[in-house]
């Protein structure tokens, strides 16, 4: 077996991305995932970590559950939306009825070939990277499989260098922007969901071809607010954070602009400079703050 290209004792690098050492997934399993058999009805949620994965899971499950109340009642979102890279834990995928729902943090070049070949629906949720950094800092501080950051300053630089889980935020978003013509992809901005969740749900339903009544859309929106999800054990990963994996709830603040409570003026200037260098031709506009 090839020795791991270690970024830290907790992360190894493969194809420009960083994966958890403590997971059993290695280069071979990651490569094998590309041959994973995709159905044309599959739906993927794809995110860079801490960008709203769990939020989109809830929205998607509520939309699909509108026509299948039994399915909705039976299990948590974590069971309904399968983590693709977690597939080594077992293979519950084959028996699933259509549409199967997945989430993944993988970059486009590491996805199963069928995602592109069968033009399956991909929902890509992205969030302004300053808040992603802060959210990930707290996540790493409370996650048993990740290195506890030495300090916020150290983590700040690790994030900019891409020495964190999944690698560079900049590369992830750029890779998906560049791949958008080859994929059947719908981009959703976390901050737009904060500003007008209903509008984003309506747009998502149009992409998914889900014809919901106004009343059902209102229900989906209501079930997907931060307030409701925080107390909904099917949505908030309570079953995990009560185990040894997380010591704190992953539903932390759910706002846009928390970076202002963490970045120094100098850090913010440095971040903006790096952002400009890396995202020169970036076709999407970041929203750095949403007033609540
Ligand atoms: P914070 O740590 O900034 O609070 P992911 O699911 O990709 O790990 O992302 C986690 C982030 O999404 C956390 O951000 C979490 O609070 C936020 N989040 C989850 N559900 C949300 C909701 N309904 N509304 C707003 N933010 C939500």
Residue 254 CA, ligand 1 centroid: distance in Å: 5
Residue 97 pLDDT greater than 60, yes or no: yes
Of 44-53, 87-96, 139-148, which one has max mean pLDDT?
44-53
- Ligand 1: lining residues by beta carbon, under 6 Å: 47, 49-55, 131, 135, 138, 224-226, 229, 250-254, 258
Mean pLDDT of 114-125: 98
**Are 131 and 259 contacting, i.e. CB atoms less than 8 angstroms apart?**
yes
Lowest pLDDT segment from 54-63, 139-148, 208-217, 224-233: 139-148
Residue 183 CA, ligand 1 centroid: distance in Å: 25
Q: Residue 243's pLDDT band (boundaries 50, 70, 90)?
A: low
Residue 89 pLDDT greater than 80, yes or no: no
Residue 40 CA, ligand 1 centroid: distance in Å: 29
- What is the pLDDT at residue 151? 98
CA distances from 201 to 197, 217, 233, 285 (A): 6, 7, 22, 20
- What is the pLDDT at residue 92? 66
Q: Give me the residue spans of the domains in the chain.
A: 24-278
Residue 252 pLDDT greater than 80, yes or no: yes
- Tell me the pLDDT tens digit for each residue of 156-199: 999 999 999 999 999 999 999 999 999 999 999 999 999 999 99
Give, using CA atoms, the residue closest to atom 18 of ligand 1: 254
Peptide bond into 99 cis (omega under 30): yes
Of 245 and 203, the one with more pLDDT: 203
DSSP helix/strand/coil, 43: strand
- What is the pLDDT at residue 74? 85
CA–CA dist 259, 141 (Å, integer): 16
Enumerate residues 6+ apart whose C-beta is below 8 A from 223: 58, 62, 229, 232, 235
DSSP helix/strand/coil, 121: strand
The CATH number, out of the four listed (2.60.40.10, 3.90.180.10, 3.40.50.300, 3.40.630.30), of the domain defined by the range 24-278: 3.40.50.300
**Size (the chain), residues:** 292
Of 211 and 90, the one with more pLDDT: 211
What's the mean per-residue pLDDT of the chain? 93
- Active-site residue 105, yes or no? yes
Residue 276 pLDDT greater than 70, yes or no: yes
- What is the pLDDT at residue 91? 62
By C-alpha distance, which of 234, 244, 204, 241 is closest to 43?
204
- What is the pLDDT at residue 265? 98
Give, using CA atoms, the residue closest to atom 5 of ligand 1: 50
pTM: 0.96
State the DSSP code for 243. S
**Are 142 and 248 contacting, i.e. CB atoms less than 8 angstroms apart?**
yes
DSSP helix/strand/coil, 210: coil
Active-site annotation holder among 105, 113, 143, 244:
105
- 1-36 exposure pattern, b = at least 16 Cβ within 10 A, e = fewer: eeeeeebeebbbebeebbbbbeeebbeeebeebeeb
């Amino acid at each position: 077996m090839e020795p791991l290209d270690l970024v830290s004792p907790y992360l190894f690098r493969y194809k420009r991305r960083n994966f958890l050492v403590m997971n059993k997934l290695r280069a071979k399993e990651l490569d094998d995932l590309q041959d994973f058999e995709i159905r044309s009805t599959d739906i993927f949620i794809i995110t860079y970590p801490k960008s709203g994965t769990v939020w989109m899971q809830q929205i998607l499950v509520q939309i699909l559950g509108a026509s299948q109340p039994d399915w909705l009642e039976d299990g948590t979102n974590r069971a309904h939306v399968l983590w693709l890279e977690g597939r080594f834990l077992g293979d519950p995928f084959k028996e699933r009825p259509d549409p199967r729902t997945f989430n993944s943090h993988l970059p486009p070049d590491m996805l199963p070939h069928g995602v592109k070949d069968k033009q399956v629906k991909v929902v890509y949720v992205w969030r302004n990277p300053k808040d992603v950094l802060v959210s990930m800092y707290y996540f790493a501080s409370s996650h048993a499989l990740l290195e506890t950051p030495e300090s916020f300053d150290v983590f700040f630089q690790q994030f900019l260098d891409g020495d964190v889980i999944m690698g560079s935020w900049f590369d992830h978003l750029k890779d998906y922007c560049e791949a958008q013509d080859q994929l059947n992809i719908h981009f959703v901005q976390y901050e737009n969901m904060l500003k007008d969740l209903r509008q984003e749900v309506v747009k998502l339903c149009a992409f998914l071809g889900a014809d919901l009544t106004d009343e059902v859309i209102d229900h989906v929106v209501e079930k997907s607010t931060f307030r409701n999800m925080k107390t909904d054990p099917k949505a908030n990963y309570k079953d995990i954070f009560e185990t040894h994996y997380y010591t704190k709830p992953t539903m932390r603040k759910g706002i846009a602009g928390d970076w202002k409570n963490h970045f120094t003026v100098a850090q913010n200037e440095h971040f903006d400079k790096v952002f400009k260098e890396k995202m020169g031709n970036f076709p999407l506009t970041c929203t750095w703050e949403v007033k609540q």
